[in-house]
């Protein structure tokens, strides 16, 4: 079955960059790409009980503009990479981005969302925009890959996977990380920021489980101590010039809140690589 990839766009340069990254990342895979634009209508609020109806002039104008820009985007992508393994589709909908994403994921049986880390109106000083943070936190139906605005694709040499080993792993949680590793012969660097002197029994057991899940793909284990977690992750990534970071978005754990505002602020000065948010199963 072809890979089904959802690409939200607000027609910004950041969104276009993320789309191009996705096309290159999956260049050798048969894929259906769904370009999604969630448009709004002047005079209506998404939080209001009033909903614009098809036929309303403002609705039809906004809808037409969205569809025309999607058609224009299709032309740009055809010039960028005319890949006979790739099929492009468009979705234009009046909705919030989050609801549009969730609806499209369900209707189109989407495998992964690839998006920019910030949108058209967000400041250059913002690392992860509101939509990117909300998507990574609240889209739990499939993985989300967030691409910084100035990141150009090159086959990833290594992906950093931070973990505290405190919770067990399921193979299906890591499928997309393993898939990217296999597609591009990418090494997975498992990073543990040590809190105590050594791992306890549960952590040792979970580490062995992870070893078994990663069996057959290139991976290694690394450990840092006497350093705050977010600083340790950044130091590791920067020192090694890593290409991507992946984490499991678990509820009620440290890494599940990786993109809370304080951590985004601290990580933002260094994190200029794609972020793959996997889902707890």
pLDDT on residue 149 = 83
pLDDT surpasses 60 at 252: no
Cα–Cα dist 264/281, whole Å: 25
Most confident of 92-96, 121-125, 276-280: 92-96
The reply to whether 3-147 and 158-279 are identical in fold is yes
pLDDT on residue 226 = 84
- Confidence grade of residue 101 (pLDDT, cut at 50, 70, 90): very high
**Residue 227 DSSP one-character state:** S
Three-state DSSP state, 37: strand
For the chain, give every domain's residue range: 3-147, 158-279
The 3-state secondary structure of the chain, one letter per residue: CCEEEEEECCCCHHHHHHHHHHHHHCCCCCEEEEEEEEECCCCCCCCCCCCCCCCCHHHHHHHHHHHHHHHHHHHHHHHHCCCCCEEEEEEEEECCHHHHHHHHHHHHCCCEEEEECCCCCCCCCCCCCHHHHHHHHHCCCCCEEEECCCCCCCCCCEEEEECCCCCCCCHHHHHHHHHHHHHHCCEEEEEEEECCCCCCHHHHHHHHHHHHHCCCCCEEEEEEECCCHHHHHHHHHHHHCCCEEEEEECCCCCHHHCCCHHHHHHHCCCCCCCEEEEECC
- Confidence grade of residue 195 (pLDDT, cut at 50, 70, 90): confident
pLDDT tens for each residue of 57-77: 888 988 999 999 999 999 999
pLDDT surpasses 60 at 169: yes
pLDDT surpasses 90 at 28: yes
- Confidence grade of residue 259 (pLDDT, cut at 50, 70, 90): very low
pLDDT on residue 265 = 45
Whether residue 60 contacts residue 3, with contact meaning beta carbons closer than 8 Å, is answered with no
Strands (E), 212-264: 219-225, 244-249
* Segment 98-118 mean pLDDT: 94
Which among 135, 131, 124, 31 has a CA at the least distance from the CA of 77?
31
pLDDT on residue 281 = 67
State in words which class domain 158-279 has. alpha beta
Helices 130-138 and 97-108 meet at what angle, rounded to 10?
40
- Burial grade of 221 (CB within 10 A; 0-12, 13-18, 19 or more): middle
In CATH, 3-147 is 3.20.20.105: no
pLDDT on residue 234 = 84
pLDDT tens for each residue of 78-90: 888 889 999 999 9
pLDDT on residue 32 = 97
Q: How confident is the prediction for the chain on average, in pLDDT?
A: 86
Instruction: Quote the distance between the C-alpha of residue 126 and its chain's center.
Output: 17
């Amino acid at each position: 079955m072809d890979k089904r990839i959802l690409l939200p766009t607000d027609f910004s340069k950041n969104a276009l960059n993320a789309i191009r990254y996705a096309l290159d990342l999956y260049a050798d895979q048969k894929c259906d790409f769904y370009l999604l634009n969630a448009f709004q209508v002047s005079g209506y609020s998404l939080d209001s009980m009033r909903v614009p109806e098809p036929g309303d002039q403002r609705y039809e104008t906004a809808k037409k503009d969205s569809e025309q820009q999607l058609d224009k985007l299709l032309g740009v992508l055809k010039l960028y990479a005319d890949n006979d393994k790739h099929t492009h589709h468009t979705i234009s909908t009046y909705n919030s981005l989050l609801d549009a994403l969730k609806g499209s994921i369900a209707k189109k049986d989407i495998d992964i969302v690839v998006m920019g880390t910030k949108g058209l109106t967000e400041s250059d000083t913002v690392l992860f925009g509101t939509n990117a943070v909300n998507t990574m936190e609240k889209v739990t139906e499939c993985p989300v890959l967030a691409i910084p605005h100035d990141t150009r694709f090159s086959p990833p040499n290594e992906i950093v996977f931070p973990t505290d080993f405190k919770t067990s792993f399921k193979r299906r949680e890591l499928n997309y990380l393993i898939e990217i590793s296999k597609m591009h012969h990418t090494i997975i660097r498992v990073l543990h920021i040590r809190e105590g002197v050594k791992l306890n029994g549960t952590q040792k057991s979970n580490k062995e489980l992870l070893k078994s899940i990663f069996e057959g793909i290139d991976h290694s284990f690394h450990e840092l101590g006497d350093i705050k977690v977010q600083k340790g992750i950044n130091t590791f990534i920067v020192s090694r010039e890593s290409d991507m970071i992946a984490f499991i978005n678990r509820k009620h754990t440290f890494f599940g809140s990786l993109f809370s505002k304080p951590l985004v602020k601290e990580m933002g000065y260094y994190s200029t690589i794609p972020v793959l948010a996997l889902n707890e199963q």
